[in-house]
Every structure is written in C-alpha cells, then in structure tokens.
Amino acid sequence: MADIRALIVDDEALARERVRTLLAAASGVTIIGECTGGRDAVASILDNLPDLVFLDVQMPDLDGFQVLEAVGDDHLPAIVFVTAYDEYALRAFDVHAVDYLLKPIEPERFARTLDHVREGLGNRSDRLEALLDALATRDLPLDRLVIRTRGKVSFLKPSEIDWVEADGKHVKLHAGRETHVVRQQLKRLEPRLAPHGFVRVHRSAIVNVDRIKELEPWFHGEYVVILKDGTKLTSSAAHSEALHRIIDAAK
C-alpha cells in the first residue's frame, strides 16, 4: 500500500513541529508540506491533493472549517482537526472529521488517530459528503463566503450578493457586475443565507430581499421578481409563500 500523503496546517510553529515529529516516527505516512494559514492551506490542498490533512481550527485568516468549505467536495482529503479547545473538538465530530487531536498532542493518542485514518480512508467518499452537509447546516453565522478564483482566496459578504443561482454542483453568486462560481450546492447554502434576508423564489434561485425592486403577479400565484439591477426571475408556485409574506409585511 502506498504511503498516506499528509499535509500539516497550523499557524503555530511548535504545533507543526510536534505533528512533524510524531509523523516521522510513524510508518506509512509521507509529509508533503506544511502551511501556516488557511489561505495557503486551500492552495496547497488543491495543488498537491493530499490524502490527509492535520488541520488547525483557529487561524488568523481562514479557520479550519472555512478551509474545508473553500476546498469543496471535489478535492477534500481526510481531515484530522488539531485544537487546543474541547469545544472545537466536539464540533470536529459534528462535521464528521476522521478524528481530532487536542494540544499538546500525546504520542499514544496520535497513534490511535493514525489507525482511525487508515480505517476511514476506505469509506472516504461517504464521510466527505456527510462532512460538507454538516458544515452547511451548522448553527454558525455566515458572515462571509470564501471565494476561490484563479488560485486566490477572497471573501464576499452576504450583503454584497444580489441573488444566487444553482448550476449543477455549483452555485453562481451574482454580486453587482461580478459573478462568482462556487463549488457548493444551493441546498447547502440556502439555510446559511436565510438569516441575512435571502428567500428562495425558485428551485434554482434564492434572492436577497433587499435587492427586490418589484413583484409582478404572474399565473397561479407566481410572481415575476424584478431586482434593482433589472434582473427578472420568475418565482415558482411552490416557493411563492415567502414572497406573499414580503408583500403582507409591506402593507
């Protein structure tokens, strides 16, 4: 069996050294790189496609959970979260990480984690799908979206988005004159944008209510939704209830 290709991500030099030392004493694992922050981690995961990432949760640019969302489910490796806080360890299980390690890392615990990794790589696809679904439904405010464009990572506030369009396994975020394509399903994004005033108007579109200029009645309780930039979307009957509430609130 080929060695497991591992990436170490932590903004603390001592923490990276600890993982590196423990991996050096283990068999069947090759370290392919180290990153000191979330942005670098995203780029390294996409460029090098590691099998396993030891991922710090708290980092100054992107936290560990945002790294996973930026990478998306095409290239997501097995994840072991590394954290100094028990609350994050519990959240690691909530998002179906292979395992978690509490700092300072004990050798015996590290060895058990590697055993879990080897056992878990066999059902990696199911685990990653569950991980991303759990990330989408976690009870955390979505204060910004991570946008990956041409190898760079940037941020987009929900308030900057006009509307979101489903496109297969991707969504298109329409923000002014710009359109950002993100590897994420609309069903995953919708519940996290809802607290920011977004409503679904069609099975393939959700809209920022603040960007709605007019609602024109259409057939069978449907509406033509006209946005301030002139974009026209037709609501489906199944998703017109939210628009009814908007009209009632404006009366």
* pLDDT tens per residue across span 24-56: 999 999 999 999 999 899 989 989 999 999 999
Residue 127: is its pLDDT beyond 70? no
Query: Which pTM value belongs to this model?
Result: 0.67
Parallel/antiparallel/unpaired status of strands 212-217 and 223-227 = antiparallel
Number of domains in the chain: 2
- Domain CATH code at residue 242: 2.40.50.1020
**13 in the same domain as 99:** yes
Regarding whether 131 and 223 lie in a shared domain, the answer is no
Longest CA span, the chain: 70
Per-residue confidence band for 123, with pLDDT thresholds at 50, 70 and 90: low
Q: Which amino acid is at 228?
A: K
Average per-residue pLDDT for the chain: 83
**Minimum mean pLDDT among 79-83, 135-139, 192-196: which range?**
135-139
Q: Is the distance from CB of 172 to CB of 164 less than 8 angstroms?
A: yes
Same domain, 13 and 67: yes
Looking at 104, 137, 170, the residue that finishes a domain is: 137
Domain enclosing residue 174, as ranges: 145-250
Is 199 in the same domain as 95? Answer: no
Q: Across residues 205-219, what is the average pLDDT?
A: 91
Task: Verify that 45 and 109 share a domain, yes or no.
Answer: yes
